[in-house]
Structure 1
Amino acid sequence: MIYVDADACPVKAETERVATRHGVRVAVVSNGGIRPSANPLVEMVIVPDGPDEADKWIAERAGPGDVVVTGDIPLAARAVEGGARVLKHNGEPLTAANIGNVLATRDLMADIRAADPFRQGGGKGFTKADRSRFLDALERMLQAIKRETP
């Protein structure tokens, strides 16, 4: 199963395309406002409004053999802890080996932003190269899961 943290996710269509090629089910989880897919492998999950409701729903279900697509670092940490594989929108995998550093960097950047309320921007835009890296990484991840599953 692939769980997509769908609010503000720029790779929903790419995820669906790769999942369909592999015959893998996808849960697209959001607070609403996402156009439903006609694909029978794709389930649209609408969670109640509220902070982190989609994250909680995904974290409670994702485990070994699953993939979580998210840019949310705390959700990624919970999913990795639960045994799921995690992929950021730019194709960067988050694993037990790197999630600690990623969390620490996220917290440091939050502190820096809080210390300077006039700081603008800082994030880079999502590019075609990011999309391509994501497609390649998801393909490789699904192939690895198939090889490892008896």
Structure 2
Amino acid sequence: MQPDLTIYIDADACPVKNEIFKVGERHNALIWVVSNSFLQVPRMPFIKQMVVDAGPDEADNWIADNCDEKSIAITADILLAERALENNAVVLKPDGKAFTKEMIGAAVATRALMEQLRSTGEQMGGAAPFSQADRSRFLQALHEACVKMKAS
């Protein structure tokens, strides 16, 4: 049976892989686990693994080159999110918040500003720890994105 949609996971640091596998199976999704190194993934016919060459953007490049309007990309990487959105993919962060075309420009600009501040030695606070509420919000957001995509 053909999958209804494809989910691409920017997997090296993704804390919600198991949740993606469960939701993806429920929604007849093909899931690509994309990483720079081999990761343990369940041996299921709908889960594929792509190990790309070592390099800072290799996984991002593979995902961006393959996603489209019938895809959901899971990433915390703002520049990958921007590229996936250009391909009309739905893009979710692991905490369940969506990247959208309306907000991606501001997110890219903020990222550049923060990078510039860090390069001057400015001490910046890190991201909040990943919580159970983030995991729950992600599960709901992924389920809703799958339902919406299958209906279109």
Structure 1: give runs of 5+ residues left out of the alignment. Answer: none
Partner residue, 1:129: 133
Partner residue, 2:50: 45
Moved more, 104-113 or 137-146: 104-113
The residue matched to 1:25 in structure 2 has which SS?
Answer: strand
Partner residue, 2:70: 65
Distance 1:102 1:120 in 2: 17
The residue matched to 1:38 in structure 2 has which SS?
Answer: coil
Distance 2:47 2:125 in 1: 34
Question: For residues 1-150 of structure 1, what are the structure 2 equivalents within 5 Å?
Answer: 1-116=6-121, 119=123, 121-148=125-152
User: Is the Cα–Cα contact under 8 Å of residues 80 and 96 in structure 1 kept in the other structure?
Assistant: yes
Residues 13-35 of structure 1 show CA distances to partners (whole Å, capped at 9, x for unaligned) of 11111000111110000011310
Residues 43-84 of structure 1 show CA distances to partners (whole Å, capped at 9, x for unaligned) of 011111112100000000101110000011100000001111
User: Is the Cα–Cα contact under 8 Å of residues 75 and 93 in structure 2 kept in the other structure?
Assistant: yes
User: Is the Cα–Cα contact under 8 Å of residues 37 and 44 in structure 1 kept in the other structure?
Assistant: no
Identity %: 44
The residue matched to 2:70 in structure 1 has which SS?
Answer: coil
Moved more, 13-22 or 102-111: 102-111
Structure 2: give runs of 5+ residues left out of the alignment. Answer: 1-5
TM-score, L = length of structure 1: 0.94
The residue matched to 2:43 in structure 1 has which SS?
Answer: coil
The residue matched to 1:113 in structure 2 has which SS?
Answer: helix
